Structure 1
Amino acid sequence: MFSQVWYRLIFLGLLTSRNVVSAQRQRQWHTDATYINTPSSTAADPYVRWDSNTSLYYAYSTEGADDGWFFGLYTSPDLATWTKLPGGAIKNETASKLWADDWYWAPECYLNENTGWYFLFYAGRMTNQTNVARYFKYPDFEEASKIGVAVSRSPSGPFINIEASPIDYYPFDPDYHDVNLIMSPPYLVPPSTLEEGETAPLGSFIPGIDPDIYFGDDEDEGMFLFFSRNAYRNWVWDPKYNKYIEESNIYGVRLNGAWWNDADAKTLPAVHSDFKDVNKGKLANWTSAVNDSFPAGPERMDGWVSVISRTLQPQIWEDAHVFDYAASNGTLKDRRWSEGSTTIKRTDSDGISIYFLTYSANNYESPDYGVGYAYAPSPLGPYAKSNSNPILSQDASRNIYSTGHGSIVAVPSSSTGSGKEEFYYPHHARPSPDDDRYLYISRLFVDPDQLYVAFGPDTGDLRLPSGSAPFDMQVARTTTTTTNGSDSNYLVTVKNRYGVELDLENAANRVRVLVNGTEVANGTSDISLDGVENGSQVTFRYQRARFNASEPWLDVKQFQGLAGETWVEVNITHEGS
C-alpha cells in the first residue's frame, strides 16, 4: 500500500507538497532489510508470540525439543533469524505434573500482563486404560487426546501443569452413532452403509487436539477455546462419496475467566456455564461405565459449537485423502482433516466486527496440506468458508511442500512500538516431500471490507517487519596480543529498535568492510583489519543474505518517512597497532 501511494505521488508530481504525508507517517521507521525462509529450524505446528517483556519473538513447536523435554522453543529479534533454546517448554519429570502419556502436540503460549503468568495450552494423549476410561468411558478408546495447560513466569519456561489432569471440559456428542463400537481393530473398515452405521449406539465423548484461544476485548465478549475434534474415531457419512470418512472438525466453546484472573495461576481452565453439562440427559439409559474393571467415565456432558466441518460447507480441496484406503491397499483410512485454527477479529470501515479463522486441511504428512480461512459475525460463528481456499499450499516449483498449521502474530509497528499494523503467519513447511517440517514465515494480509485474507510469498527475498527498524550499529576496537605482535580487531554489534542484538553469527547476517570505499573484507561480529594502513577511512556496513544468487547480499538501508535513507553503518578512521 505504501509503495502504491509513493508511486502515485511521483506520477502526479506532488512529492514536494508538505501536506501529502501525515506527520505520523513521516516519523515511522522502515527498512529494506530482507529475509529468506530456509529449512534451518525444525518446527511443527509452530505458534509464535511477540513478548513485550523481552522484546523477542518466541516460537513454540510440537517438534524440536531436546531429549527429556516436550515442545521445541526458539527466539528471534526480527521474526526471521531464530535461535534454539536448550531443553524445551515442559520437562519430562514428575515435578511437571504430567497427565498425558504421549502425542504432545500444538503448543500455544499466552501472557496475562496483569498477573505476569504465561499459559501454555497443548494437546496430549492418554494411553493408560484407567485414565482413558475416566475421560472417555471406554478403556480402549482410540487416540484419547485431551487439552492441557501449564504455566510459567517466563516465556521460555520451564512450564508446570496447573494440575496433573487436562482442562475442566468434557465435550460430548449425543447425536453421534459410535460406529467404532461395531467395528473391529485396527478400525480401518467402517460400515458400508448409512443404515448399518445408524445401528451403532448413540453418544461419544470427543477427543480434542490443536487448541487455540481467542481473547475478546472485554469480559462481555468473553474468551473462547477453539480445538479440533480428533479425526480418529469420528466416522461421518458422506453422501457425495456414499461412504463413511473419518473426519476432524473444528469446534468452539466459551471458557470461564476464573483461571485467567487467578493471581497464583492455580485454577485450571474450565468451560463456561453456558456450555457446562448442556448435553446431559439427552440420551436415555446412558451409562458411564463399561464394566466393573474400570472406573466410571465422566458424569459431565458438555456442549460445543461446530465451526468448520464438511457438513457445514464442503470444499473439494479438502478431499485429498478420501480414497486413501484403496490407494494404500487397505493400510490407511479414508480421512478428512480440519485442524490448526487461529481466530482474530478485525473491524471494517463501517465499524462492524468480523472474525477471521484460518485452518489447515488434509494430512500433515502430505504435499497436499494447505491453509484456508472462514469468516463470521461472532466468535462462534456461523462461519462461511472463503471460495478462495486454499490460500496457502504447496508449490513444487519453489520446493515448498506441506504448508500449514500456523499461527497469526501481530507485529509491533515502528511508529509507536505497541501498535499492531502488520500480521505474519508462522507455519511449517517442507523443502521436499520427505523432509522434516521447518519454520517458515509469511506476511498475512486481512481486508475486512472485502472479507479477504491472503498471504505474501514464502520464497524469495521477503521484507523484514518494519518494526525492526531503526537499527543501531556499534564498533569497538579490541587489541589481541600474539607472538607476532598485536591484531587490529574490531567488535561489531547491531541492535534493533528495542536494543536487542542481532546474531551476526547467523548465516542471514554479515558485516561488510570497506576501506576508502573499496571492499576489503566481510565477516561476522569480530573483524580483523590487519594490514590496513593507518589513517584509512573504514566503513562497517550491515548486510542481509538474499535469495537472489547473483546478488547474494544486501546492504541494509533504513529511512524515516520522506526524510531520506541511510545505511546501517559506522565510519571510523583506522589506527593500526
Structure 2
Amino acid sequence: MKFRFAGMVAFMLGNAVAMAVEPVVLADPTVLVDGKTYYLYGTSGVDSNLGFPYCKSENLSDWKDSYRLALARIDGNIFGTKWFWAPQVFKHDGKYYMFYTANERIAYAMADSPAGPFTGGGEIVSDINQIDPFVFFDDDGSAILYHVRLDRGNRIYAVRLSPDLSRMQGKPVECISAVLPWENTASSEWGVTEGPTVIKRGDEYVMFYSANDFRNPDYAVGIATASSPFGPWHKRPAPIIHRSNIGRNGTGHGDLFTDKDGNLCYVFHVHNTDEEVSPRRTMIVNLDKETLTPIVETLRELTIN
C-alpha cells in the first residue's frame, strides 16, 4: 500500500511539474504579425551570446517555444560573436529582415521565413559603438534607422539608410538624451535613453523610448513627438509605462504592433522579481489609440503553454 501511494504521489507530482507554467523570458522584445501568426523575438534570458530565440502564437495567449534560434551565432554566416541584443524583425521587398545588436554594434540579416534562419547581411558600419536598432519606413518609402550611440551616455540618434538597407547615409542626428528627472532617478553620470520605436500618426512622428539603467526599478517608457523624423523631439513630462501603473519593476524596452483585432499593443520586459533583475519577463499591454497610454486591465504576462 505504501508503494502504491508513493507511486501515485510521484505520478501526480510529475504531472504537476509537466503542467507548470513557464514564463517567457525574452528581454527587449518585438512582435512580428505574419498572416495569422504572431512571432515574438528578444534578447535571450538564458544566453544572449548564442543568438535570438523566438516564440509564436495564434492568439497572443498560447505561446509555443520553438526551442531553436531564429538567428544563431553557431550557424555562422552572420555578424557578431556575443551580446546579441534587441532585435527588430520586419518584411521588406519579399524578404524578412532582422536588425539587431551584437558586439555593441548594429547589424542585419535576412531570411525567407519569420522563423529564420536569418543569415547574410552584415554590420551597419559606424565610427562608434551603437545598439538598439529600429528601422522606420516613412511615407515616401525611405528608411530611417533610429538607434542608440554610446557617447556621453546612451543617446538616441536617427540616420537615413541606403535603399538596400545596408549602410547609413549622412550624419546621424541626435534625438533624445536623459534630461528629465524621471529619466535618471539614480543621478548617474552616464544617462540612459534607449529602445526607440517610432510610428507616424498623420503628420506627427511619435517615439516610444526607455530611460534609466535597465537594472533600475524605475526603468520606464516615455513618449516624444516631432513634425520631422529627425526632430526636434518634444517629450511628455512623465513616463507612460512605469512600475507605478504596471506594478512591476524595470518596465521598458519594447516595441509596438497592431494585433489581429486592430488593438495597438506594446510588448516590453519587466524584472524577474522585486529582488532579481534577470531573467527578465515579457509582457504585453494594449494602448489607448488617442492618448497612447496603457489600458492597464489588458496587461498580461506571457507564458509558454
Q: What is the TM-score of this pair, normalised by structure 2?
A: 0.85
SS at structure 2 position matched to 1:226: strand
CA contact (8 A) 1:42 1:436 kept: yes
The structure that is strand-richer by fraction is 2
> Counterpart of 1:208?
130
Distance 1:411 1:446 in 2: 13
Alignment CA distance shift 1:210-1:68 (3 Å):
closer
Task: Using the TM superposition, give the Cα deviation of residue 66 of structure 1 relative to its aligned residue in structure 2, in angstroms.
Answer: 7.4
Residue number among 21, 26, 29 corresponding to 1:43 in the alignment: 26
CA contact (8 A) 2:221 2:239 kept: yes
Alignment CA distance shift 1:398-1:362 (3 Å):
closer
Distance 1:445 1:208 in 2: 32
> Counterpart of 1:217?
139
CA contact (8 A) 1:64 1:72 kept: no
Distance 2:282 2:57 in 1: 12
SS at structure 2 position matched to 1:406: strand
Q: What amino acid sits opposite 1:62 in the alignment?
A: T
> Counterpart of 1:381?
231
> Counterpart of 1:438?
281
Residue number among 335, 338, 341 corresponding to 2:196 in the alignment: 341
Task: Using the TM superposition, give the Cα deviation of residue 320 of structure 1 relative to its aligned residue in structure 2, in angstroms.
Answer: 1.8
Residue number among 52, 61, 78 corresponding to 1:98 in the alignment: 78
Indicate whether 1:426 and 2:267 are aligned. Answer: yes
Residue number among 304, 307, 322 corresponding to 2:187 in the alignment: 322
CA contact (8 A) 1:73 1:84 kept: yes
Distance 1:392 1:462 in 2: 11
Indicate whether 1:150 and 2:109 are aligned. Answer: yes
SS at structure 1 position matched to 2:289: strand
Task: Using the TM superposition, give the Cα deviation of residue 256 of structure 1 relative to its aligned residue in structure 2, in angstroms.
Answer: 1.7
> Counterpart of 1:407?
255
Render the CA deviation track for 1:465-515: whole Å, top value 9, x for unaligned. xxxxxxxxxxxxxxxxxxxxxxxxxxxxxxxxxxxxxx9x93xxxxxxxxx
Distance 2:181 2:271 in 1: 23
Give the paired residue count: 281
Distance 1:382 1:440 in 2: 31
Alignment CA distance shift 1:214-1:398 (3 Å):
closer
Indicate whether 1:124 and 2:124 are aligned. Answer: no
Percent sequence identity is: 31
Distance 1:65 1:398 in 2: 25
Alignment CA distance shift 1:398-1:110 (3 Å):
closer
SS at structure 1 position matched to 2:186: coil
CA contact (8 A) 1:406 1:428 kept: yes
Indicate whether 1:254 and 2:160 are aligned. Answer: yes
CA contact (8 A) 1:399 1:432 kept: no
CA contact (8 A) 1:58 1:76 kept: yes
Alignment CA distance shift 1:398-1:148 (3 Å):
closer
> Counterpart of 2:43?
62
Distance 1:67 1:462 in 2: 26
User: Which sections of structure 1, spanning at least 5 residues, go unmatched?
Assistant: 1-37, 126-144, 171-204, 236-246, 260-268, 276-302, 324-333, 348-352, 414-420, 464-502, 507-577
Task: Using the TM superposition, give the Cα deviation of residue 257 of structure 1 relative to its aligned residue in structure 2, in angstroms.
Answer: 1.1
CA contact (8 A) 1:69 1:89 kept: no
SS at structure 1 position matched to 2:228: coil
Distance 1:250 1:257 in 2: 22
Alignment CA distance shift 1:439-1:67 (3 Å):
closer
Residue number among 345, 366, 371 corresponding to 2:216 in the alignment: 366
Q: What is the TM-score of this pair, normalised by structure 1?
A: 0.46
Task: Using the TM superposition, give the Cα deviation of residue 102 of structure 1 relative to its aligned residue in structure 2, in angstroms.
Answer: 1.3
Q: What amino acid sits opposite 1:370 in the alignment?
A: A
Distance 1:66 1:249 in 2: 26
Alignment CA distance shift 1:67-1:361 (3 Å):
closer
Render the CA deviation track for 1:375-397: whole Å, top value 9, x for unaligned. 0112111110012x2111114x9
Render the CA deviation track for 1:513-558: whole Å, top value 9, x for unaligned. xxxxxxxxxxxxxxxxxxxxxxxxxxxxxxxxxxxxxxxxxxxxxx
Distance 1:226 1:346 in 2: 17
SS at structure 1 position matched to 2:89: strand
Distance 1:67 1:109 in 2: 17
Question: If you compute each CA radius of gyration, which structure gives the higher value, 1 or 2?
Answer: 1
After superposition, residues 177-326 of structure 1 pair within 5 angstroms as 205-219=127-141, 222-230=142-150, 234-235=151-152, 247-259=153-165, 269-272=166-169, 275=170, 303-310=171-178, 314-323=179-188
Distance 1:67 1:375 in 2: 32
CA contact (8 A) 1:64 1:73 kept: no
CA contact (8 A) 2:48 2:83 kept: no
Render the CA deviation track for 1:58-91: whole Å, top value 9, x for unaligned. 1111114679841120101112331111211222
Q: What amino acid sits opposite 1:426 in the alignment?
A: V
> Counterpart of 1:129?
none
Runs of 4+ in 1 over 4 A off after TM superposition: 64-68, 460-463
Q: CA RMSD in A?
A: 2.4
Distance 2:49 2:37 in 1: 25
Distance 1:96 1:404 in 2: 31
Render the CA deviation track for 1:205-227: whole Å, top value 9, x for unaligned. 321100001012333xx110000
